[in-house]
Structure 1
């Protein structure tokens, strides 16, 4: 009995505490609570191993506060007062109204009306003006608006907004109206608007909406307007070029409309604060700053580095101006500073590869970077290899990558796999074919300019590469040659469609081997012996055997048979002679170039293959005698 009494005394205070925590608001909603299912009981542990007691679960509440700070208590009292004031009938109607589905259409109308009312209060006088301006802007933007109507409405809109451009240009809806006005108005009106906005140009460049007005003025403005905008940027270049909103517009002005003098002034601001206001026409490169006083070198390089680090940290690197300054810095800085900068921009290889200076920066990264730097740079190329390979400057980065990265397994996985997926499309491109050629004919002067080869040779003795260039070249070639030959065999028409890609095909066939090479030979032989094979160039249709680009490629390929015969390998001439039937030969001798291909086959084949071809040609001697082309006459002499 004593033990049970003790159990009651232990449990009782705890249940009382829980009951005390129930607020007044819970009592008000007691009717609703009664309908809710009872929650799971809370087991309260008891000391000294006594059996646990179950009590009803209660939502935990915050600790008691003083009357002054207890907002919930005041709220509950107010609820109580309101409850007492209202009658039972009112409470019933409120419950039924709450259960009804709200009219969302009416709710949206009220919300829109409230928004317009608040806007009217905030803009006061400008509100009516913006409403009128939007109506005129709506007419201006329509394609069916005539030239006369546009002139009339632009004058009307300018008069309406005159004196208020400095405010409304920063509003998201009115900025669009100003853009239409700037696009369609006269040159005099455009200059009047610019004179009003002249002091706000730097702020506008940093505004999400106003920057588009600057872009319209650059696109449609006169040389004087562009000059005013570019001059307004002087002294603020570092601030603007490191701003994510302003940087694209500054880059557009720099690369499209800025004069050489303007570009020089833009770059000078990176060299130190002293050039923000005072420009110097004699300072054309970074080295000119400390040319006369070498003591300034460390301070100047420190200032440039600080500005570049600020921009790189914000990842605003896709500008020609930054690429130009970055290249100058890397050419003049110490090795320690160079390594530090490489770590910062190694993941921006794709962005750098869009300009000539940026490409040189990317090549420096691959040449002097550590293995880790190179790996991170290659990761950045994911899904971008095709874009890079077909870029005017970007394809050079891939050539450097093939030369300077020792880890060929990683190159195969990250770069060559994507390259092989799009090999035909890349080979058909003017710059893309250089990438294919570099893999199969590295630094061959038949395909690459000597200056380009010399530029790539500069990195051959870099400290980070340990593998010999010959080993690296062979490993990369082995990784791609089978896929290249298979693609030539399956897409023969594309790979012989013009003279440029025909030379790429020739380079691939010269280094090929095995079953894949024989398949490619057969596919090319079938294509050129098919009388329906047509090559179109500049809307002019040519028979395949008559086309000059293909003729040159076939001639060089047949001449290469002499090398293959010495190595006792299958030759293209042998494959072609097997497919030369009388009907095909009869068609070929009609063309001068067709006769010369037959002559080349006779001169570069084994004796047995030559005899087979002569046997096929002898029945056509009469036809050859009737032809007066140089090729037919020479072929006739060979047969006699």
Structure 2
């Protein structure tokens, strides 16, 4: 009985739920009909042309007057500008000046008309320039007057504003006037701008806007004396007030005032730190300051600067001092710092390698980073994938030369080697230099040898490449090296007669390369490797006798005898001995040398 009662109650609940849902559905249908009816009514209130019909009382609905709204908006804008300029007079002056400027700035404006417009413009703005120099639009009027008005008007404008140059340098738009004076002004005007910065350089360098003015003045227009004056302001209050002409850098100041070293470095760090914190690394002056500081500061300060810079070096390595900063960070940073620095260069390695100053940073990295597997994965893989771009650049080619023949005086000038030697003996590099170099060469051997092999026909007769080919086949290892030997030997297998034009024996640079091949044969023979001399004997045996009538040919044969490889020596003597009389009649030095050897 109880179960039947429960079933009856459940059925009643189901019926009630269904009834409720049906009521909700009917209500939604009614609402939808109302909405549709409302839309139809709204559409019917418009005629076919889209104009709303009159209502039943005969009045048409109100429409917005857009012309009136635009006029009101324009009037509000004019009032706002007038308020910013301070008076209606200034506003009217700016309107008149811009009207003249619109014609003056046109490229097709003739010179005679330019003179008339400049004269009219200066008559209106003279004596009122300070009220116009701060706005983004009117400052352009003054800039155009400087650029097209000539020295006469430039002087008038400069004389009126010369006492406010430091303040103008800090204003977003007014600074462009100061930059224009530096670019177009007379030498006296440029000197006035630079001298007006005295005592303010440190403050201005910390200023995001004014730092551009200091950078242009320092980098492009200041002479050596003025540059040293600007740099000295970072050494402390004493140097800001009293400049010393014999001090050109931080090292000079420390040598002249050793008793003040601690205070100078402290002031230098406190002046430099805000610039580092703000990330203002694009200025050349900052690169110079960082280089001087890293070269002279304590280990603790140096580590602090490296920590701050290690992920931000890419923008600065395009300048000489910026590249030196990156090199100092690599030399004195920990292994972890070095990896962080090089990782930040990812996707930029080829560009860095082909830059005048940037490639030096990579040479320093090859010298100091012990983890050659890391170098292979991060640095060398990217460089080897873009070998064509490296070959097309003089600086990219230096990268390849350094990998093949590091610190070689054949390829690098003493001044370059002197800079690189500054990183020798750093605390973080533990691996033996020779081992590090061989491991790097093992990584690049196959890509470089394949590149040489693909271009050997042209490069073997190119004086810019023969020394590199000679160095590559000496230090790099791979089956491609033997293929290079065979191809070069084939070039020398062509018959030679006195006066033959175009033969490789007549090319001094190619013969010098082959001489280098032969001189390395003794080492290859001791290592039980195939020698170039043996390959040359196989390829050109029938033509070697003809070489005795050529000075360079005789020297090559003499070099083969100097290898002291028994089979090579005996073979050469067997070929040449029957021609002793012929050699004795020759007048060139090569014949005399060869006669002595046999």
TM-score (norm 1): 0.70
Mapped to 2, the partners of 1:400 and 1:226 lie a distance apart of: 39
3-state secondary structure, aligned to 2:312:
helix
Q: Could you say which residue in structure 2 is the equivalent of 1:404?
A: 368
Q: 1:229 to 1:610 in 2, by over 3 A?
A: same
1:480-629 maps to which residues of 2 (within 5 A)?
A: 480-492=444-456, 495=459, 498-522=462-486, 548-572=508-532
**Which of 355-364 and 225-234 deviates more?**
355-364
RMSD of aligned Cα (Å): 4.8
* 2:243 equivalent among 279, 283, 299: 279
1:439 aligns with 2:398: no
Residues 1:270 and 2:234 are matched in the alignment? yes
The CA distance in 1 between the partners of 2:202 and 2:166, in whole Å, is 12
Shift of residue 502, structure 1, vs aligned partner:
3.1
2:61 paired residue among 63, 74, 93: 93
SS, match of residue 196 in structure 1: helix
- Distance in 1 between residues matched to 2:120 and 2:234, nearest whole Å: 45
Alignment match, 2:149: 185
Pair 1:374–1:410, CA change in 2 (3 A): same
Cα-to-partner distance string for 1:448-492 (whole Å, 9 max, x where unaligned) = 445654554454433322333233222211111111111112234
CA–CA distance in structure 2, aligned partners of residues 107 and 33 of structure 1 = 41
Whole-angstrom distance in 2 between the partners of 1:479 and 1:632: 40
Q: What are the within-5 Å matches in structure 2 for residues 76-155 of structure 1? A: 93=61, 113=74, 117-118=78-79, 121-122=82-83, 123=85, 124-155=88-119
Distance in 1 (alpha carbons) for counterparts of 2:569 and 2:296: 64
The answer for the alignment partner of 2:35 in structure 1 is: 35
Is the 1:269–1:275 Cα contact (8 Å) retained in structure 2? yes
Using the TM superposition, give the Cα deviation of residue 294 of structure 1 relative to its aligned residue in structure 2, in angstroms.
5.5
In structure 1, distance between residues paired with 2:148 and 2:357: 37
Deviates more, 1:114-123 or 1:362-371: 114-123
Q: Shift in Å at residue 309 of structure 1?
A: 0.8
3-state secondary structure, aligned to 2:61:
helix
Q: 1:615 to 1:293 in 2, by over 3 A?
A: closer
Counterpart CA distance in 2 for 1:149 and 1:589 is 81
Partner of 2:220: 256
Quickly say closer, same or farther: Cα 1:452–1:291, change in 2 above 3 A: closer
The 5 A counterparts of 1:156-195 are: 156-195=120-159
Alpha-carbon distance change, 463 to 512 in structure 1, aligned in 2, over 3 angstroms: closer
Secondary structure at 1:276's aligned position in 2? helix
Query: CA offset at residue 616 of structure 1?
Result: 12
Which residue in the other structure is 1:473 paired with?
Answer: 437
2:435, 2:56 → 1: CA distance?
95
Q: 2: distance between equivalents of 1:445 and 1:580? A: 33
CA offset at residue 404 of structure 1? 1.6
Q: Secondary structure at the match of 1:444?
A: coil
1:240 Cα deviation after fit: 2.0
Alignment match, 1:390: 354
Distance 1:315 1:477, change over 3 A: same
Distance in 1 of aligned mates of 2:36 and 2:331: 73
Q: Alignment partner of 1:499: what SS?
A: coil
1:246 corresponds to 2:210: yes
Q: 2:329 aligns with which of 365, 376, 388?
A: 365
Partners of 2:170 and 2:207 within 8 A in 1: yes
Distance 1:320 1:92, change over 3 A: same
CA, structure 1 residues 580+305, in 2 after alignment: closer, same or farther (shift >3 Å)? Answer: same
- CA contact 2:490–2:540 (8 Å) conserved in 1: no
Q: Spell out, residue by residue over 1:299-331, the C-alpha distance to the aligned partner (whole angstroms, 9 max, x if none).
A: 322211111111001111233322333233333
Q: 1:303 to 1:573 in 2, by over 3 A?
A: same
Matched, 1:343 2:307: yes
Q: How big is the shift at 1:564?
A: 2.6
Partner of 1:42: none
Q: How big is the shift at 1:528? A: 8.4
> Does 216-225 or 445-454 show the bigger shift?
445-454
Q: What do the CA deviations read for 1:135-193 (whole angstroms, capped 9, x no partner)?
A: 54444444444444444433333333323333333332333333332222222322221
Structure 1 unaligned blocks of 5 or more: 4-30, 38-85, 532-541, 618-623
Count of residue correspondences = 543
Whether the 8 Å contact between 1:179 and 1:213 is mirrored in structure 2 is yes
Residues 445 and 478 in structure 2, CA contact (< 8 A), matched pair in contact too = no
5+ residue gaps, structure 2: 1-8, 10-30, 38-53, 496-501, 577-581
| Contact 1:428 1:501 (8 Å CA) reproduced | no
TM-score (norm 2): 0.74
User: Structure 1 118/440 Cα, relative in aligned 2: closer, same or farther at 3 Å?
Assistant: same
